[in-house]
Amino acid sequence: MAPKKAEQALVEQWRDILALHARTQCELDRALHQHGLCASDFEVLDVLADGRAKGDACFYRVQEISDRIHLSQSALSRLIARLEKDGLVERGMCPEDRRGVRVGLTDKGRTLHGEVLPVQRAVLTRMLNSG
């Protein structure tokens, strides 16, 4: 009987984590929408803002971004294309591998990230400290 209870507790804990993630994602989307972003958009901007310096700009390979924000390569490519169209990021060829693409923030993207960062962090604080 004890293994069944332990297993059920584990499943309930997992479902609680999933529910917290879903609620937090919805709150982030709601808060960021007024800035023209969704939670995934912000995650890309946030990763790029924390990127390692390459001259005056921070660039990541698309695969490096994908590893950090847990989107498929194709979903991330579409998201990056949209952010590029909005003037928030720029893409360029990877000097180490001409087949690779690097992505970096534009000045507009860096400014928007700075404006929205406190909003995103406030949602995370509220949602993750309420449990």
Provide the pLDDT confidence category of residue 93 given band limits of 50, 70 and 90: confident
| Contact yes or no for 101/73 (Cβ under 8 A) | no
pTM: 0.84
- List, for residues 31-90, the tens digit of each pLDDT value: 999 999 999 999 999 999 987 544 445 688 888 898 899 888 889 999 999 999 999 999
CA distances from 110 to 27, 41, 105 (A): 22, 13, 6
User: Which of these, 17, 42, 50, 12, lies nearest to 123 by C-alpha position?
Assistant: 42
Q: Who contacts 27 (Cβ-Cβ below 8 Å, separation ≥6)?
A: 123, 126, 127
pLDDT for position 116: 97
Block residue for tokens 């479902």: 15
Mean of all residue pLDDT scores within the chain: 89
The DSSP call for residue 94 is -
